[in-house]
A and B are shown apart, each in its own frame.
Chain A
Amino acid sequence: MSELKGIYALWYRETKVFLRERSRVISSIINPLLWLLIIGGGLGSAVSFGGVNYQTFIYPGVLIQTALFSSVFFGVYIVWDKKVDFMKEVLVAPMRRTSIFVGKILGGSTDTLLQILILFAIGFILTFVGVMPGLHLTVSSIAISLAFLLMTTIGLVSIGLILGSQMESPEGFQLIISFLVFPLFFLSGSLFPITNLPNWLAPFIFMNPVTYAVDGIRTILIGEQEKVIVGAIQLSPMLDFMIVTLFSIIMIGIGTYAFKKMKL
Chain B
Amino acid sequence: MKQFGIFIQKELFHIFRDRRTLLILLGMPIVLVLLFGFAITNEIDNARIAILDQSKGEMSQKITQRLLASGYFLIDENLREVAEIEQHFREGKTKMAIVFPPELQENLRRNLPTQIQLIADATDPNTATTLINYASAIIGRYVQDQGRGQAMPLQIHTEVKMLYNPRLKSVFMFVPGVMTVILMLVSAMMTSIAITREKELGTMEVLLASPLRPAMIIIGKVIPYILLALANTVVILMLGAFVFGMPIKGSLFLLALECLLFVITSLALGILISTRTESQQVAMLISLMMLMLPTILLSGFIFPIESMPLALQVISNIIPAKWFIIILKNVMLKGTGVEFIWKESLILGGMALFFIGASVRNFKIRLE
Answer whether A and B are interacting partners: no
Q: Give A residues with C-beta under 8 Å from B.
A: none
Q: Give B residues with C-beta under 8 Å from A.
A: none
